[in-house]
């Protein structure tokens, strides 16, 4: 497996298929060991600084528990715990934190904050989420698909809804792993054009495929995986009514899901707005693996932390 010690995870565009595979294989091994009661602590004595400009249930708990299980320590730093809000630059924050800690995770609004943090940090920086991308979520999703489907290459993956940060990371990551990524969004809510171009280049290079459409039924037809996310993300609350109206035809319900492969699984990064992007019938049905996904945030992040720190 390829060594990725010291590598930043700013977004998956900077990661090769071999590096992604290294994280996934390590996660499989570490999860199996954990479930059998074997719990090594390779990060004993190490500390992860966790910067949260955006609150989160899964990101905070999974990273904090991951560091504890690996023998290390995590420090939660909200906006009131840092001098960023009082004018200190991201660059200076990176320079200081990287002299104290062995790694930095940030969950924020601007992708530039993640990039600046990585540029000036002496230690690896992990993007826990930005408005542009959500790479850790996609790594956990990939682990879940491998568990349920046995592979990534050749998987027909349908993303339905808003062309947001999760959608972007699937375009960047899925195409590199030889998947067919189908994205169905309403007009005006398409994924970022530059990211689409990167996805097309990766698909051509690595044997994947990228399909963009406004027809959710077309995207879902015979799909192995059907995926959605909230229609209104943090910071978009003023657009809520407009978004609900535009995206109603993209709700993952029994009718839409019936077009997928008979063994298709349903995925959602959570939190879910039930009754909006997905119905209870699907979220709680036998096709749903949403809580397996959530659990795998812990295991894939343990692998990631152990490898880069």
Residues designated catalytic? 107, 134, 137, 229, 269, 297
- How far apart CA 146 and CA 259 sit, in angstroms, is 22
CA-wise closest residue to 124 among 5, 24, 42: 5
Give the three-state DSSP class for 184. strand
**To 10 degrees, what angle do helices 17-35 and 290-308 make?**
110
- How far apart CA 156 and CA 57 sit, in angstroms, is 29
Kindly provide the residue ranges of all beta strands, DSSP E only, lying in the chain, ordered along the sequence. Answer: 47-52, 73-78, 103-107, 125-129, 156-160, 180-184, 209-213, 225-228, 265-268
6 alpha-carbon distance from chain centroid: 20
Cis peptide before 174 (omega within 30 of 0): no
- How far apart CA 294 and CA 45 sit, in angstroms, is 27
- How far apart CA 213 and CA 144 sit, in angstroms, is 25
Q: Alpha carbon of 62 to those of 24, 139, 183, 237, 305: distances in Å?
A: 16, 13, 28, 26, 11
């Amino acid at each position: 497996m390829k060594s990725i010690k010291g590598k930043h995870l700013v977004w998956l565009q900077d990661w090769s298929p071999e590096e992604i595979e290294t994280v996934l294989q390590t996660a499989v091994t570490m999860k199996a060991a954990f479930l059998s009661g074997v719990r090594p602590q390779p990060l004993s004595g190490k500390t992860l600084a966790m910067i949260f400009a955006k609150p989160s249930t899964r990101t905070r708990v999974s990273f904090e528990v991951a560091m504890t299980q690996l023998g290390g320590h995590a420090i939660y730093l909200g906006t009131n715990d840092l001098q960023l809000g009082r004018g200190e630059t991201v660059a200076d924050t990176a320079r200081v934190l990287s002299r104290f800690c062995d790694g930095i995770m940030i969950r924020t609004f601007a992708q530039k904050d993640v990039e600046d943090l990585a540029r000036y940090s002496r230690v690896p920086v992990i993007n826990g989420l930005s408005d542009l991308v959500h790479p850790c979520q996609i790594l956990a999703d990939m682990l879940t698909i491998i568990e349920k489907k046995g592979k990534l290459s050749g998987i027909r993956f349908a993303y339905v809804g808003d062309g947001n940060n999760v959608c972007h990371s699937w375009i960047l990551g899925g195409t590199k792993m030889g998947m067919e990524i189908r994205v169905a969004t309403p007009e005006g809510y398409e994924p970022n054009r530059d990211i689409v171009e990167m996805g097309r280049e990766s698909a051509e290079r690595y044997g994947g495929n990228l399909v963009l459409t406004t027809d959710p039924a077309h995207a879902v037809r015979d799909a192995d995986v059907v995926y959605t996310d909230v229609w209104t993300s943090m910071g978009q609350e003023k657009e809520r009514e407009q978004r609900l109206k535009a995206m109603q035809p993209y709700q993952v319900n029994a009718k839409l899901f019936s077009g997928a492969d008979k063994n298709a699984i349903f995925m959602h990064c959570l939190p879910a707005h039930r009754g909006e992007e997905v119905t209870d019938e699907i979220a709680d049905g036998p096709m749903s693996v949403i809580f397996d996904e959530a659990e795998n945030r812990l295991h894939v992040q343990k692998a990631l932390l152990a490898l880069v720190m």
